[in-house]
Amino acid sequence: MPNVIFFTSLAPSTAALLTQSAPPDFAVTVYPFTLPDAEKITLLQDADFLILFPGRLNETVLRAAAHLKLIQLVSVGFDGIDLALCRELDIPIANNGGTNAIDVAEHTIALMLAFYRRLVEMDGAVRANRWSVLDSGATTYTIHGKTVGIVGLGKIGQRVARLLTAFGATIIYYDAYPPAAAVESDLDVKRVAFDQLLQTADIVTLHVPLNTETRHLIGARELTLMKPNALLINTCRGPVIDEAALTATLQARRILGAALDVFAQEPPLPDNPLLHLDNVLFTPHIAGVTVDTWPRRGEFIFANLQRVWAGQAPLATIEG
């Protein structure tokens, strides 16, 4: 019987939505992510599989888990895992296979609409009995007719593209590792150079993993290239944007604004100057988190564990 350990910060009732997909012959035990390292080490010595949410593990614990057949992440991001050490220990790592793409893509569209239609401000105005104060006709926008630049056309970026098609947007994209030509044709998207995307797009939305290539992918130079009426969306990882450069750009109102689900430091410090600007909209790193996402992730995770237990290669592995 496979021994599966699940370290998580999820509430027990939420974790149960994920583990309900476990096969009856899998022994799955859920522990809080805050468990002391010494206890984690003891638990992992005889474990066959480790499921992680959040996807972080320090070197001491990882070295003690050298007999694992797979580290299975519940999230798509892998920046909290030492990939080089996992290679050394010959432990494969898999992410969630894009099973949160639906959730992140819908949240991305929600951020676009919320910023463009000033929904937070509108709600506040109605509650404060300021019914006719807002000149919305001069300060709200439609996605229809806009050019949207998608940076990163993986599973999430592709689903964002599909949703945007229904809004009547023109879609361009940049990806250092583009998908097959058939995907581009199916989505009716055009690949352009990174700088051209920044110069052309009315909305720039980021969907890349955090690694050495993408850290501060959007910095002062890139922000200078963007149109004065451009909106920047980030639902991937905070450090993909140079926050200091973005703050200066927003303070000077050199772009229309930004909508951010992620920060360089989470949660952000109260004195983070971004929090005091009126041309940026925030959510607390929840783009991929819905009630519906956990069963979907669980189905993929336990199907992946079954593959490995049966001697097959895991899906959605991460190469360091």
Do residues 254 and 302 both lie within one domain?
A: no
pLDDT of residue 139: 87
CATH number of the domain encompassing residue 192: 3.40.50.720
Do residues 112 and 258 both lie within one domain?
A: yes
* 318 is a domain residue: no
pLDDT of residue 56: 83
* 137 is a domain residue: yes
* 315 is a domain residue: no
Do residues 224 and 301 both lie within one domain?
A: no
Q: What are the residues facing 6 on neighbouring strands? A: 30, 51
Do residues 19 and 119 both lie within one domain?
A: no
C-alpha to C-alpha distances, 237 to 191, 197, 231, 260, nearest whole angstrom: 22, 20, 17, 10
Do residues 131 and 166 both lie within one domain?
A: yes
Tens of pLDDT along the chain (320 residues) come to: 999 999 999 999 999 999 999 999 999 999 999 999 999 999 999 999 999 998 788 889 989 887 899 999 999 888 788 888 889 989 999 999 999 999 999 999 999 999 999 999 989 988 988 887 666 677 899 999 999 999 999 999 999 999 999 999 999 999 999 999 999 999 999 999 999 999 999 999 999 999 999 999 999 999 999 999 999 999 999 999 999 999 999 999 999 999 999 999 999 999 999 999 999 999 999 999 999 999 999 999 999 999 999 999 999 998 75
- Cβ atoms of 51 and 5 within 8 Å: the answer is yes
b or e along 157-176 (b: 16 or more beta carbons within 10 Å of the residue's beta carbon)? Answer: bbbbbebbeebebbbbbbbe
User: Which run of H or E residues covers position 53?
Assistant: strand 49-53
Q: Which residue out of 207, 237, 296, 297 is catalytically annotated?
A: 237
pLDDT of residue 273: 97
* 319 is a domain residue: no
Describe the strand order of the beta sheet including 93-94 as a list of residue ranges. Answer: 27-32, 3-8, 49-53, 70-73, 93-94
pLDDT of residue 133: 61
Phi, psi of 258 (to 5 degrees): -145, 155
Which residues make Cβ contacts (< 8 Å) with residue 68, sequence separation at least 6? 44, 47, 48, 49, 50, 91
Do residues 74 and 201 both lie within one domain?
A: no
User: Which run of H or E residues covers position 310?
Assistant: none
Q: Which residue out of 215, 285, 299, 307 is catalytically annotated?
A: 285
Match 């952000």 to its residue by tokens: 268
Polymer length in residues for the chain: 320
Q: Which residue out of 39, 88, 213, 266 is catalytically annotated?
A: 266
- Cβ atoms of 93 and 301 within 8 Å: the answer is no
Do residues 162 and 186 both lie within one domain?
A: yes
Amino acid at 310: A
Do residues 93 and 105 both lie within one domain?
A: no
* 128 is a domain residue: yes
Range of the domain at 92: 3-99+291-309
DSSP codes of every residue in 213-278:
TTTTSB-HHHHHHS-TT-EEEE-S-GGGB-HHHHHHHHHTT-SSEEEES--SSSSPPTT-GGGG-S
Do residues 83 and 158 both lie within one domain?
A: no
Do residues 95 and 134 both lie within one domain?
A: no
DSSP category for residue 45: T
* Angle (CA) 128 129 132, round 5°: 120
What is the number of domains present in the chain? 2
Do residues 71 and 130 both lie within one domain?
A: no
pLDDT of residue 138: 74
* 89 is a domain residue: yes
Spatial distance between the Cα atoms of 91 and 70, rounded to a whole number of angstroms:
6
Which residues make Cβ contacts (< 8 Å) with residue 40, sequence separation at least 6? 7, 31, 61, 64
pLDDT of residue 241: 98
- Cβ atoms of 54 and 9 within 8 Å: the answer is yes
Do residues 211 and 247 both lie within one domain?
A: yes
Amino acid at 70: L
Query: How big is the chain by its Cα radius of gyration, in Å?
Result: 21
pLDDT of residue 134: 66
Residue 285 is among the residues annotated as catalytic for this protein: yes
* Angle (CA) 1 83 54, round 5°: 65
pLDDT of residue 136: 66
* 295 is a domain residue: yes
